[in-house]
Structure 1
Amino acid sequence: MKLQVRIVQQKGSILQRKYTIQAATDHKHVADLRDLKLERCNELQGEYCIDTTTVRCMAWFSATVSSGVPLVFVNIQTEQIPSTEETHFLKREIATSKQKINNANQIMHGIRLWFLPGLAEILVVLIPQPGEARFGMEIKRTEEGFVYIYSVMRGSPADRAGVREMYEELSANEFLLVISRLQCKSIMPMNVCSASLVHCCDQSEMKDILTSAIDQYEMIQVHVMAWSNQTRPSPIPDVGGLAALLHPKSDSSL
């Protein structure tokens, strides 16, 4: 999100000349910049209600689509979870919230976000040849937790399997070629903890799996998500006044 701000002198810092930022259109809105640990940040937010959790959930999805991840919104729902149960879900959960009742018991509320690949989840089989030391694709992770392919070597197993062709087509339209499964095991961000930290797959473990397979000259199955040039995300409902944030940006890519 882009904000118009101005640099102003921080109150109470006449001698030390400390500065902070102020909203350009309202002098009453001043940011308090501090070096805090995550636990202290969560304590200051006080956003343990279902409405704010839903807003954060949709903001996460909006940022994901804006990054170029090919996802289509399907549905969003809430559900209660027993207080003794871990705050983890089975699929597609993006946020959790807490509500205190009678200052004693806690009821956990979860936000379940359902989404689909933009066009399809495509199975790609990478088959190395004797003497090849790599499958020929480099991977990165978006800030939202999705693993994607950012380069493919010509003449490599990935190139022969058609990955480079898909990568170049998507890159030309500023979309990402996202890996959704490796050896049929999902590597998508699927759940979060009560502190709103998104749990992602271990990227080093992915590289170990690929390295082990290439060392043994074994084929490996990779599922990727993509969409065609004509396909665009379906409309996303306005949750908490986020309509302006919930559309893909053509000029942004991680």
Structure 2
Amino acid sequence: MDKSQPSDGPVVAIESIGSGSKIEDFGPDMVQSGDVIEEIRISGSPPVKAPFKGGKAALQKILHAAFKRGDTSVVVTIRRGPMGPETERKELQACLVLQGKKNYILRSVYDPNHVVGFADRTESECLELQGSRSTRLVSELTKAHVQDGFATYPWEKKMNSKTFPNYNHPVGSSFLSILVLPKALDSTSSRYNTIEETMGQAHSWLLSSRKSGVPIAFVNIQTEALLTKISGETASATVNCINDLSNITNLSLYGFEDYHGVDLGVVKAVRLWYRATGGEVPIEIKLNHHDTRLGFAVSRTDEGFVYISSVEEDNKEDEAPSTRCGLRDLYKQAKSASQFLVISRIAHEKVLPWMVCSNGSIRCYDTISLSQKLSLHRKALLPFSIHVLLWDMNVNGGVDGMRTDSVPATSAEEPAESVPEPPSNELEEEVGSMERESIGDVSFRFEDVVLPSSWV
């Protein structure tokens, strides 16, 4: 006879009771119904080993005698599975508890909810119980699902700059991007450049910005689907293209028909994500009653970035806010590094270019309205802050978009309009005018000229 095959003789087995009767309550490391008792050790007494002559009744007598002596500490050794070299054995450390007149049960010392008793069974019955328990556990596992829910979150508190001292712009995020629409190839906007060509546009914009002195670095690029309505030749040429997915991988415009029979088009634009190479830093400008100017001028690059193009030199008798807040020194550092001192926010409102239209014009902010807003701050004596893009992480302690200390920012007041200084480099020699237009969604477009510096 194979020794690994158990005889079908009587044994005393564990019987889970109370809260422990649910198979999902306890893991496989705890003793459960069907586990065969091999040995019981009561306090310091010698161990009592199976087989137990008389079964459960004989075991209850042993426990009763121990309880009367005051010995209630019990260690039970069980085995699980058929007899053999790979038989699994576990121990239960428990307290002896009287239930009824002479019926004793065991309560785990590690988990009071784990309560077990004893039962007379055969080897085959125990193996069947153990097998069914595994089957039931697998069944329960297949039916178990992780439930979702909702967690309240204190957004206002978390986004407060006082909570995160280095988070300098709680109103706007530090994620910078520009959306590049595919260039239209005809006046009816029925044909557009491919995705590859639009990505080339975005790449060219980034390289041109960096070459001109805008301190930004590439982060990521992605396509972005924009829904529009199409009709006529455009619809007939693009609707149902979606039936052949291989044809739309590189298309910038494709269409489909909704359940109302309306022809809808999807324009695939490109979003370019970038960051300031040295991070963003706030400069607080406080105002005095005698301030008649801010002391700096703003211009705009061909790529749509607004930057500080000039600052007022020292005037000991009437120091400008740009000097008091440290902006003049920062401007000189940028100039010596051949970088633009780009303004990214005014009073936490972004003033960066945000879109390239299908006709090639760049949506951005004009310096005239920006200068007017700054002058209104000065006249109203309302302090404000501007954020600038740094070109070096070591400049004024800036570290990758986060500030460990603030720029020298004492009080500064807005200066009144003053006569621009003579241009000091080629960029400042470019003088021109801005012509406003109302072409589609374009607020203005760039001509072959650039704006002069706008002093505030």
TM-score grouping bracket, smaller chain normalisation? 0.5 to 0.7
Is it true that 1:162 corresponds to 2:307 in the alignment?
no
Which of 139, 164, 172 is the equivalent residue of 2:298?
139
Q: Secondary structure of 2:309's partner?
A: strand
CA contact (8 A) 1:174 1:253 kept: no
Cα shift readout 1:32-71 (whole Å, capped 9, x = no counterpart): xxxxxxxxx9439x65211111101100111001110010
CA contact (8 A) 2:351 2:365 kept: yes
CA contact (8 A) 1:190 1:199 kept: yes
Query: What is the match of residue 172 of structure 1?
Result: 336
Q: Secondary structure of 1:125's partner?
A: strand
Deviation at 1:227, TM superposition (A): 2.0
Q: Which of structures 1 and 2 has the bigger CA Rg?
A: 2
**Residues in 1 aligned to 2:320 and 2:426: alpha-carbon distance in whole angstroms:** 29
Which of 253, 278, 282 is the equivalent residue of 1:99?
253
Query: What is the match of residue 354 of structure 2?
Result: 190
CA contact (8 A) 1:174 1:252 kept: no
Is it true that 1:68 corresponds to 2:216 in the alignment?
no
Query: What is the match of residue 124 of structure 1?
Result: 283
- Structure 1 length as normaliser, TM-score? 0.65
Q: Secondary structure of 1:148's partner?
A: strand
Rate the CA distance shift 1:55–1:207 in 2: closer, same or farther, 3 A: same
CA contact (8 A) 2:308 2:341 kept: yes
**Residues in 2 aligned to 1:138 and 1:156: alpha-carbon distance in whole angstroms:** 12
Deviation at 1:252, TM superposition (A): 8.4
**Residues in 1 aligned to 2:328 and 2:229: alpha-carbon distance in whole angstroms:** 47
Deviation at 1:206, TM superposition (A): 1.0
Deviation at 1:84, TM superposition (A): 4.6
**Residues in 1 aligned to 2:206 and 2:269: alpha-carbon distance in whole angstroms:** 16
User: Which one-letter code corresponds to 1:127 in the other structure?
Assistant: K
Which of 52, 63, 83 is the equivalent residue of 2:197?
52
Q: Secondary structure of 2:193's partner?
A: coil
**Residues in 2 aligned to 1:115 and 1:84: alpha-carbon distance in whole angstroms:** 31
**Residues in 2 aligned to 1:84 and 1:198: alpha-carbon distance in whole angstroms:** 23
Deviation at 1:156, TM superposition (A): 1.1
Query: What is the match of residue 149 of structure 1?
Result: 308
Query: What is the match of residue 392 of structure 2?
Result: 228
**Residues in 2 aligned to 1:73 and 1:67: alpha-carbon distance in whole angstroms:** 15
**Residues in 1 aligned to 2:360 and 2:352: alpha-carbon distance in whole angstroms:** 16
**Residues in 2 aligned to 1:230 and 1:133: alpha-carbon distance in whole angstroms:** 33
**Residues in 2 aligned to 1:164 and 1:55: alpha-carbon distance in whole angstroms:** 37
Which of 179, 186, 194 is the equivalent residue of 1:43?
186
Moved more, 123-132 or 193-202: 193-202
**Residues in 2 aligned to 1:47 and 1:56: alpha-carbon distance in whole angstroms:** 13
CA contact (8 A) 2:229 2:265 kept: no
Q: Secondary structure of 1:112's partner?
A: strand
CA contact (8 A) 1:98 1:106 kept: no
Deviation at 1:220, TM superposition (A): 1.6
**Residues in 1 aligned to 2:358 and 2:266: alpha-carbon distance in whole angstroms:** 12
Gaps of at least 5 residues in structure 1 are: 1-40, 86-96, 232-250
**Residues in 2 aligned to 1:99 and 1:77: alpha-carbon distance in whole angstroms:** 16
CA contact (8 A) 2:213 2:340 kept: yes
Q: Which runs of 4+ in 1 moved over 4 A?
A: 251-254
Query: What is the match of residue 91 of structure 1?
Result: none
Deviation at 1:98, TM superposition (A): 3.5
User: Which one-letter code corresponds to 2:368 in the other structure?
Assistant: S
**Residues in 2 aligned to 1:115 and 1:229: alpha-carbon distance in whole angstroms:** 16
Q: Secondary structure of 2:228's partner?
A: coil
- Structure 2 length as normaliser, TM-score? 0.37
**Residues in 1 aligned to 2:281 and 2:394: alpha-carbon distance in whole angstroms:** 17
User: Which one-letter code corresponds to 1:192 in the other structure?
Assistant: V
Cα shift readout 1:81-136 (whole Å, capped 9, x = no counterpart): 22259xxxxxxxxxxx842458x653200101111111121101111222211111
Query: What is the match of residue 108 of structure 1?
Result: 267
State the identity %.
Answer: 27
CA contact (8 A) 2:354 2:364 kept: yes
Deviation at 1:192, TM superposition (A): 2.7
Rate the CA distance shift 1:42–1:136 in 2: closer, same or farther, 3 A: farther
Rate the CA distance shift 1:101–1:229 in 2: closer, same or farther, 3 A: closer
Which of 366, 373, 379 is the equivalent residue of 1:209?
373
